[in-house]
Structure 1
Amino acid sequence: MENHYLQLRKHIEEISPLTDEEWETIAACFTYKKLRKHQFLVQKDELVPSEYWIISGLLKTYAIDNEGKEHILQFAMEQYWTSDFHAFQNQVPATLFIDCLEDSEFFCLRLENREKLCSEIPKMTNFFRIKSHYGYIALQQRIMSLLTQTAEERYNNLIKKLPLLIQRVPKKLLASYLGVTRETLSRFKG
């Protein structure tokens, strides 16, 4: 477990160096959680008490439309932050599902603990601001790719940006994420 906390400290210190005293305060605000493959981290219509930093594993974030079709917003793996951020920040029921594609481990940070950290350790405000901006940029790029690129271009960009993800995500889910059929995805790979 100590190694997991060292990973988290290293992650934070990539943006904001910490004193040992600051780290002790930060570490006390995180709790550990482990889920198995196919378990839900977040379910639609439930409250979302935490945001999650992934220690290990792979997750998918998705919505289901009125016709029952699944729409994948994101895959998240080690060192990603994930949650239904709207539900978390506003303390309202979730509109998304997040489930584990692999056995996964997380650190959970409750909203009141994040607010406490930002109040007591101002550099954590900067850390969360930067991480939020990175997430917003990634989401904006995903939306723009869906609007302006062909499915094959999206696939090729995904291979360049996240080659390990391609190996970990089942082809059916990868096709859904790219907005193509599994057969079309096979042609790209051919």
Structure 2
Amino acid sequence: MSELLRQHIEKITPLTDKEFDYIFSHFTTRKYKKHQFLVQDDTAVQHDYFVLKGMLKASYITAEDGKEHILQFAWEDWWITDYQAYFNQTNATLTIDCIEDTEVLALSLFNREKICSEMHKMEHFFRRKSSFGYVALQKRILSLLTNSAEQRYQQLQNAYPQLFQRVPKTLLAAYLGVSRETLSRFSKM
């Protein structure tokens, strides 16, 4: 499974075997069952998670009505955490739980900072990953502001068709900001 992380990093920067072994030594492997939590609202966030196997979601539950708003799905070859809490070392505002049985590599902020300070390649890697994340977040916000629900559904289906096989429709509806009934109507078109 470490090969997946190495391939992921090497999409941005090449590594020697020795460099990768050193980087990998800073991660811990963790396994979770479907419906288990990696991060819960109002608890400390210790790790950023690289997904080796499975599917997760990051969501926010509104206090007023208890409605779930899904910010992100993550599956193999993706990263997920509550970044605000992780980088600021504060308690989480998000909840991250498993949609499927999941295996991840966990990286503490201490270890992330350590490998970045010791290896320019890793500092470069995480800077590029952050930049890609900012671009994706901006696109998602603009899509929510400017596109109809049907357009957002089509964009999601075109960009990530695997979600429609792996994620329950109620969760897809929460991600798109539509009702389950509206999502069903789109899928029949």
TM-score tier by shorter-chain length is over 0.9
Give ranges in structure 2 of 5+ residues lacking alignment: none
Stretch of structure 1 that moved more, 91-100 or 167-176: 167-176
- State how 1:122-141 maps to structure 2 within 5 Å: 122-141=120-139
Is 2:57 aligned against 1:60? yes
RMSD: 0.8
Letter in 1 for 2:105: F
Give 4+ residue runs of structure 1 displaced > 4 Å after superposition: none
For residues 4 and 178 of structure 2, what CA distance do their matches in structure 1 show?
36
For residues 41 and 58 of structure 1, what CA distance do their matches in structure 2 show?
12
TM, length-normalised to structure 1? 0.96
Letter in 1 for 2:27: F
Indicate the SS of the match to 1:24: helix
Indicate the SS of the match to 1:163: coil
Indicate the SS of the match to 2:45: coil
Give ranges in structure 1 of 5+ residues lacking alignment: none
Deviations 1:101-155 (A, max 9, x none): 0000000011111111011111100100011111111111111111000000000
Partner of residue 18, structure 1: 15
Choose which of 143, 152, 155 in structure 1 pairs with 2:153: 155
Partner of residue 140, structure 2: 142
TM, length-normalised to structure 2? 0.97
User: How many aligned residue pairs are there?
Assistant: 187
Choose which of 95, 98, 101 in structure 2 pairs with 1:97: 95
- 1:23 Cα deviation from its structure 2 partner: 1.1
- State how 1:167-186 maps to structure 2 within 5 Å: 167-186=165-184
Deviations 1:41-79 (A, max 9, x none): 100111111100000111111011112111111111111
Partner of residue 116, structure 2: 118
Q: Percent identity?
A: 57
Partner of residue 27, structure 1: 24
For residues 82 and 160 of structure 2, what CA distance do their matches in structure 1 show?
22
Letter in 2 for 1:61: A
For residues 100 and 47 of structure 2, what CA distance do their matches in structure 1 show?
20
